[in-house]
């Protein structure tokens, strides 16, 4: 069963690799304690995993894995204090309640997580121990040259819509706890965020305070399968010293800002047939699709080549799955006609109480 935290996320030890997420928007649903459960048994398609340095310890019962880690760490005080629990682990299935009650009191940090069985190949090594040698001076120089090349490409794409942009770019040294998305996860919230900005700027509280209506109007037009691919399936984890630069975060951010600006112009003037506004919108969207502004190229290249993802239930290889998602994003999400249709829906909804600001 999954672990839950009500308010804050604990600090994750360096040797801990968490890959089991339930809700992409719930940042705290990673580690924690399961209340009112005498023993933590994994669901049918998941297992518990912890690491003894680079050696994985895998089991269907969380307490069993925690006890193995306690023994490995050689904490004599804990082992002596919980001798009975360690002895009873052998009889886990007949004395589960006694084992859990004893093991639950061991003062361990959270070192055991629940993951899908299909992720075991990805977790076969402790990621914090992979590539533990930092790059040499020569390698670091080569990396910096790569960063500069990526920066030039980034600026070239952004200058199409914002010639004055002068942002910087550096190698990503810290690793995202949740991994890197192939398609920017912000795609799924673009409409909702645009709607929020519109209702706030024009004080349309009748819509802004209607949570259900905001959710309906702000819903993205993508299929459930494509949503799952973007949000959950198409995610990769870069090793500690693996080269990675998050250029897409900058590119996508600038394109979103430009596209949202054209959307707000259309909504503010209450005209979806204004030639100037629609031409600006079309320019941004056309270039957005042309340069794949919503795709993290480094994450995409890594994900397409990962063998474990080629075993998808739909029997499509990763490259085809990538093409399918990109095609739907272009056709149904970042498409001028679709965007104008969405603007009409919003304007119809706010017509009774929208007073445009001059």
**How far is Cα 155 from Cα 146, in angstroms, rounded to an integer?**
14
Residue 84 dihedral angles phi and psi, to the nearest 5°: -65, -40
What residues contact residue 225 under an 8 Å CB cut-off, 6+ apart?
none
Residue 216 or residue 354, greater confidence: 216
**pLDDT number for residue 126:** 46
Predicted structure pTM score: 0.61
Check whether 332 has a pLDDT greater than 80.
yes
Residue 17 or residue 143, greater confidence: 143
**pLDDT number for residue 11:** 38
100-109 core/surface letters (b: 16 or more CB in 10 A; e: else)? bebbbebebe
**pLDDT number for residue 15:** 37
Alpha helices in 82-174 (DSSP H): 83-88, 96-103, 137-159
Query: Taking the mean position of all CA atoms in its chain, how far away is CA 120?
Result: 19
Among the residue ranges 30-39, 148-157, 324-333, the one predicted with the least confidence is 30-39
Question: Given pLDDT bands bounded at 50, 70 and 90, which one contains residue 300?
Answer: very high
**How far is Cα 151 from Cα 146, in angstroms, rounded to an integer?**
8
pLDDT digit string, tens, across residues 50-72: 776 556 778 777 767 777 776 77
DSSP characters over 43-104: -TTEEEEEEETTEEEEESBHHHHHHHHHHHHT-HHHHHHTHHHHHHGGGTTTSHHHHHHHHT
Query: Taking the mean position of all CA atoms in its chain, how far away is CA 317?
Result: 21
**How far is Cα 343 from Cα 329, in angstroms, rounded to an integer?**
18
Q: DSSP state, 233? A: I
**pLDDT number for residue 336:** 94
Question: Given pLDDT bands bounded at 50, 70 and 90, which one contains residue 142?
Answer: confident
**Residues 321-329, mean pLDDT to the nearest whole number:** 96
What count of Cα atoms within 13 Å lies in the side-chain half-sphere of residue 83?
4
The answer to whether the CB of 41 falls within 8 A of the CB of 48 is: no
**pLDDT number for residue 269:** 82
Question: Given pLDDT bands bounded at 50, 70 and 90, which one contains residue 95?
Answer: very low
Dihedral angle sign, alpha carbons of residues 20, 22, 28, 33? negative
Check whether 131 has a pLDDT greater than 50.
no
Among the residue ranges 22-31, 120-129, 223-232, 301-310, the one predicted with the least confidence is 22-31
**Residues 110-128, mean pLDDT to the nearest whole number:** 52
**Residues 258-272, mean pLDDT to the nearest whole number:** 89
């Amino acid at each position: 069963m999954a672990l839950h935290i009500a308010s804050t996320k604990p600090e994750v030890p360096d040797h801990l690799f968490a890959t089991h997420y339930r809700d992409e928007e719930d940042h705290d649903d990673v580690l924690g304690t399961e209340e009112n459960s005498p023993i933590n048994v994994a669901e049918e398609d998941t297992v518990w995993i912890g690491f003894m340095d680079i050696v994985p310890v895998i089991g269907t019962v969380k307490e069993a894995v925690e006890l193995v880690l306690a023994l490995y760490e050689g904490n004599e005080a804990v082992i002596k204090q919980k001798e009975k629990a360690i002895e009873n682990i052998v009889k886990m299935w007949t004395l589960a309640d006694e084992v859990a009650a004893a093991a639950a009191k061991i003062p361990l940090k959270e070192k055991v997580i629940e993951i899908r069985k299909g992720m075991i190949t990805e977790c076969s090594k402790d990621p914090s121990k992979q590539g533990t040698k930092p790059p040499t001076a020569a390698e670091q120089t080569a990396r910096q040259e790569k960063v500069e090349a990526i920066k030039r490409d980034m600026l070239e794409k952004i200058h199409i819509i914002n010639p004055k942009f002068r942002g910087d770019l550096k190698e990503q040294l810290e690793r995202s706890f949740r991994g890197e998305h192939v398609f920017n996860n912000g795609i799924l919230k673009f409409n909702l965020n645009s709607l929020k900005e519109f209702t706030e700027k024009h004080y349309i509280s009748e819509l802004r305070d209607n949570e259900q209506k905001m959710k309906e109007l702000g819903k993205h037009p993508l299929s459930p399968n494509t949503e799952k691919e973007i949000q959950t399936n198409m995610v990769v984890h870069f090793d500690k010293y693996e080269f990675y630069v998050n250029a897409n975060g900058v590119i996508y951010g600038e394109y979103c800002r430009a596209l949202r600006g054209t959307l707000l112009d259309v909504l503010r003037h209450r005209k979806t047939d204004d030639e100037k506004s629609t031409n600006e919108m079309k320019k941004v969207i056309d270039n957005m699709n042309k340069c794949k502004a919503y795709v993290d190229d480094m994450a995409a290249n890594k994900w397409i080549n990962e063998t474990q993802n080629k075993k998808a239930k739909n029997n499509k290889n990763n490259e085809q799955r990538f093409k399918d998602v990109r095609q739907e994003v272009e056709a149904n999400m970042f498409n001028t006609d679709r965007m104008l249709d969405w603007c009409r829906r919003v304007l119809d909804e706010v017509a009774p109480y929208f007073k445009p600001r001059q």
